[in-house]
Amino acid sequence: MAFVGKKFPNLNVDAMNDMGDTFKLNVLEEAKNNNKKVLLFWYPKDFTFVCPTELHAFQEALAEFEKRNTIVIGASCDTPEVHFAWLNTSKDNGGIEGVTYPILADSNRNLSNTLGILDVTNETYNEETGVVTVEGDNVTYRATYLIDEEGTVFHEGVNHMPVGRNVAEFLRLIDAYAHVQKNGEVCPANWEEGKDAMSANRDGVASYLASH
């Protein structure tokens, strides 16, 4: 199910911060109550390989997201305790020490299942034993959601496990959406802050294409 153009699910999820506090976090309310955009990125597992590179990359860009009135939230299906152990593991040991944004601990998979981003390729019910088995790790793909100040999703994307994300692209998408919000123009292919946008009509696209 695609969520672009819809409200983000209204669910409370356990989360962990770098101080070791476990608390409930509702992504929809974070956006609406704080009048901020939210970038929520999911990764498969703590203590793995591509994942720490992404968490550090989002941390390194945190000031750029804050300049854009955007909250960054990480998420996986690990428990809060595992998150905290990883937060206390040094970078040179494959850890994420130094990450300061909250990380959702969706261990009951309520939110990730609602979003449809779990790695479950087949589910089988054995009538004799009553046992349900699944194929896949039942962890999340590398899904990313951008949510506006009203709680509406304006971008979602899903990468397979081996493919890390480009953090700069999410900054570009936030810039583009903010331009649309502020100016009422639409942003053409490869648009970046400072480049020409265009009016969303026939004359607008004709004028843009004629000069580009």
Hey, which residues are catalytic here?
A: 51
Please give the Cα distance from 31 to 177 (Å, whole number). 15
Planar angle of CA 156, 2, 178, nearest 5 degrees: 40
Angle, helices 167-183 vs 50-60, to 10°: value is 40
Of the candidates 5, 4, 6, 13, the residue with the CA atom closest to the CA atom of residue 113 = 13
Q: What is the DSSP letter of 115?
A: H
Please give the Cα distance from 191 to 212 (Å, whole number). 12
Sign of the CA dihedral 160, 50, 165, 104?
A: positive
CB 58 within 8 A of CB 50: no
Phi, psi of 15 (to 5 degrees): -145, 160
DSSP letters spanning 163-188: ----HHHHHHHHHHHHHHHHH--B--
